[in-house]
Every structure is written in C-alpha cells, then in structure tokens.
C-alpha cells in the first residue's frame, strides 16, 4: 500500500513543480464543488425532516430513545450521502473537465518519457463512454451507500469499522476513475482497467485510500484533484507497462 501513497505524493509533487497546471486543473473541480456543495447543504437543512419521515415508528417512543435514534439515523444518512458524493464528485469532475485532465495527463506523461498517441475515435464517442461508466459507478456507489447506511446502525462497529471500510472501498473506485484517463488513452476499457487494478490491489488501495482521505478534508477534493490526476497517470503508466510499449517505468 505504501507504493500507492508514493504515487499520490509524486503527483502532488509534480503539480507543485508546475503551478500553472495546478491552477489549470482546479477549474473543473471548482465547478463540481458548487454543484455538490449546494446539494449537500440542501440535505443538511432537510436532514431533520427526512429522518423524521424515515422513522415514524419512533414517534411514540420516550424522547431520549427517539432523539438518539434520529441522531444516529441523521449521521448515517449524511455519511452515506458523503460516500456517494465522494465517488460521484470525481466522476462528474472528470466528465466536466475531460479536456483539462486529458491535457494534464499528457503533460505528465511527456515529462517522464512521452504519452501514447491519442486513440483514433470521435471526441463524442469517448465522452459518451465516460458518461456511461459514470452512471454505472453511480449505481454501484448507491448500492454500497445503502449497505454502509444499514451497517452504521451496528453498535460500535458501525461508528468505527464501517467508516474505515467505506473509505477503502471508495478509494478503490476513485483509483479506477482517476487512472481511466491514462488507460483510456491506451484503449483499455472499464472491465480491462478494473481487472488490471485488481491484480495490483495493495498499490491501488494505498493510492485510493490516501486520495479519499485527502478528498474528505474541506476543499481537499478541489485542491488535490490535479495532483490526484497526475499521480494516477504515473501509476497507470507503470501498471500498463506490460501491456504497451509506451509506458516505461517511472524512475
């Protein structure tokens, strides 16, 4: 897992040495932040009514038990929303910023030996595939979000182990999204990408968990997105080494 964290560090270091590329990569993330920030703020204001609607059976309970249940339920609902948002934030940002991050990934690869040629396909075909993959990811994230929401009601484990597992799971899918730019350029589709990532699970989980943790820091998903894309590009370059001759080992 340490190797995965190192890739993230390399990516952050790369954009730190190229501040103009960092600013360049902030634009799509800022736009997505406005969208998801607005949705989560709305949820925060509505959470009380939502939880009350979800737990009508507790209306006749003693006030202490009722309020405890609804507090735990509110935390679980908001936590599930954060989990889904963490995954969808990256997916939506990559769709909005496809030209930005494609250019950033190419510059990263050119700085360490050269990027493979762009696939010979229409732009809209690649965009449509990205949207389809994002919808599949969204459905998967929602399913996991419901599972973690249910598990969060387990005493102690639901408030300690479950959040950690959720972070690791989200990190795995985050890595799949972020490495998609470089792997798509190598004409690797979603199933092939995740098969490759599965074969290098410790590295992938190290990168994804560290990235997910940074994204949970206020404004972290915006500030660290360019570095995450750069780090994922470097990692994808190495992981694809056996599959393409255009992915030499990063020093």
pLDDT along the chain (251 residues), means of 10: 92 93 87 88 88 86 86 84 79 83 91 79 69 76 79 81 87 88 84 87 93 88 91 92 47 35
pLDDT at 127: 67
Please state the domain count of the chain. 1
81: Cβ contacts below 8 Å, ≥ 6 apart: 40, 43, 145
pTM strictly above 0.85: no
Residue 29 falls within a domain, yes or no? Answer: yes
Residue 246 falls within a domain, yes or no? Answer: no
pLDDT at 11: 95
Residue 250 falls within a domain, yes or no? Answer: no
Q: 196, 240 in Cβ contact below 8 A? A: yes
pLDDT at 246: 38
pLDDT at 250: 39
Residue 247 falls within a domain, yes or no? Answer: no
Token pair for 10: 């390399």
Residue 138 falls within a domain, yes or no? Answer: yes
Residue 244 falls within a domain, yes or no? Answer: no
17-35 pLDDT per residue, tens: 999 888 888 888 898 888 8
Other beta carbons within 10 angstroms of residue 239's beta carbon come to: 23
156-174 pLDDT per residue, tens: 888 788 888 888 888 888 8
**How many Å apart are CA 78 and CA 152, to the nearest integer?**
11
**Could you tell me the residue range of the domain that residue 35 belongs to?**
2-239
Residue 251 falls within a domain, yes or no? Answer: no
Number of H helices, E strands in the chain: 11, 0
CA distances from 30 to 89, 128, 200, 226, 229 (A): 11, 22, 31, 12, 15
Question: What is the overall mean pLDDT for the chain?
Answer: 84
Q: Residues of 123-161 as b/e, b for ≥16 C-beta within 10 angstroms? A: eeebeeebeebbeebeeebeebbebbbebbeeeeebeee
Residue 166 falls within a domain, yes or no? Answer: yes
């Amino acid at each position: 897992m340490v190797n995965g964290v190192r890739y993230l560090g390399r990516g952050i270091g790369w954009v730190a040495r190229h501040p103009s590329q960092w600013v360049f990569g902030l634009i799509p993330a800022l736009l997505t932040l406005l969208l998801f920030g607005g949705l989560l703020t709305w949820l925060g204001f509505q959470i009380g009514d939502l939880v009350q609607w979800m737990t009508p059976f507790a209306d006749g309970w003693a006030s202490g038990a009722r309020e405890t249940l609804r507090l735990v339920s509110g935390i679980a609902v908001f936590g599930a929303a954060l989990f889904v948002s963490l995954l969808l934030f990256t997916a939506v940002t990559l769709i909005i910023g496809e030209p930005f991050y494609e250019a950033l990934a190419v510059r990263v690869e050119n700085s360490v030996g050269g990027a493979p040629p762009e696939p010979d396909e229409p732009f809209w075909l690649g965009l449509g595939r990205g949207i389809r993959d994002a919808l599949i990811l969204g459905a998967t994230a929602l399913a996991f979000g419901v599972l973690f929401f249910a598990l969060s009601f387990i005493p102690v484990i639901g408030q300690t182990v479950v959040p950690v597992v959720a972070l690791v799971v989200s990190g795995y899918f985050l890595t799949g999204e972020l490495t998609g730019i470089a792997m798509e350029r190598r004409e690797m589709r979603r199933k092939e990408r995740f098969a490759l990532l599965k074969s290098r699970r410790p590295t992938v989980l190290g990168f994804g968990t560290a990235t997910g943790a940074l994204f949970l820091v206020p404004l972290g998903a915006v500030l660290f997105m360019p570095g995450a894309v750069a780090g994922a590009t470097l990692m994808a370059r190495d992981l694809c080494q056996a599959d393409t001759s255009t992915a030499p080992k990063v020093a």
